């Protein structure tokens, strides 16, 4: 049985260390990572490589459900692909594994909650920015230079 950890962040300027450390603390020696959006499965070659590598009895672990995908269908499709290979998926937060009987119901509910939580985070973020602007603290986000325009 091979235990593979998968760490993912959405952008190149985000840090994978926290996820990788959690996976190592759980005893995972093989940890693959990616800095790519989880909005779609397109461009997620690292995840696809892991799924293709999985064999019966193997386990894929992520620290949070949204590291697999951003919506219920995407998450359930990835879990289905792993199960088709005889492998299990485990999520650390909240701790859920596909080894149980009721897991699909739990994962479906969690998958439905994830987009709602993302919307709540965006609302809180906007409110925080408005408050910071009102207090003359907010300086705006990082501006990126389009390399194509520079060349």
**Residue linked to tokens 């409110």:** 127
Over residues 38-56, the pLDDT tens digits come to: 777 777 899 999 999 999 9
3-state class (DSSP) for residue 59: strand
**Rounded Cα gap, residues 26 and 34, in angstroms:** 19
Residue span of the structural domain in which 77 resides: 3-134
Is 10 catalytic? The answer is yes
Q: How many CA atoms lie within 13 A of 27 on its CB side?
A: 3
- Of 10, 33, 37, 97, the catalytic one is 10
CATH of the domain at 41: 3.40.50.1390
Q: Let me know if residue 87 belongs to a domain.
A: yes
Preceding peptide of 119 cis, ω within 30°: no
Over residues 59-86, the pLDDT tens digits come to: 999 998 888 887 778 888 898 899 999 9
Over residues 1-38, the pLDDT tens digits come to: 899 999 998 888 788 999 999 999 999 989 999 988 77
Which residues lie closer than 8 Å to 84 by C-beta, 6 or more apart? none
**Rounded Cα gap, residues 46 and 23, in angstroms:** 16
Total structural domains within the chain:
1
Q: Let me know if residue 32 belongs to a domain.
A: yes
Q: Let me know if residue 104 belongs to a domain.
A: yes
pTM for the whole structure: 0.70
Q: Let me know if residue 13 belongs to a domain.
A: yes
Q: Let me know if residue 18 belongs to a domain.
A: yes
Q: Let me know if residue 147 belongs to a domain.
A: no
What are the tokens at 139? 């300086």
């Amino acid at each position: 049985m091979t235990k593979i950890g998968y760490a993912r962040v959405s952008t190149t300027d985000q840090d994978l260390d926290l996820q990788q450390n959690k996976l190592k603390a759980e005893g995972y020696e093989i940890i693959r990572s990616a800095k790519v959006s989880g909005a779609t499965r397109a461009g997620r070659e690292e995840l696809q490589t892991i799924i293709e590598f999985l064999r019966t009895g193997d386990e894929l672990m992520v620290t949070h459900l949204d590291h697999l995908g951003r919506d219920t269908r995407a998450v359930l499709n990835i879990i289905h692909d792993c199960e088709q290979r005889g492998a299990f998926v485990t999520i650390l937060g909240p701790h859920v594994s596909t080894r149980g009987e009721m897991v699909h119901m739990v994962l479906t509910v969690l998958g439905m909650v994830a987009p709602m939580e993302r919307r709540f985070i965006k609302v809180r973020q906007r409110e925080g920015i408005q408050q910071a602007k009102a207090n003359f603290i907010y300086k705006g986000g990082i501006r990126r230079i389009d390399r194509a325009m520079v060349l």
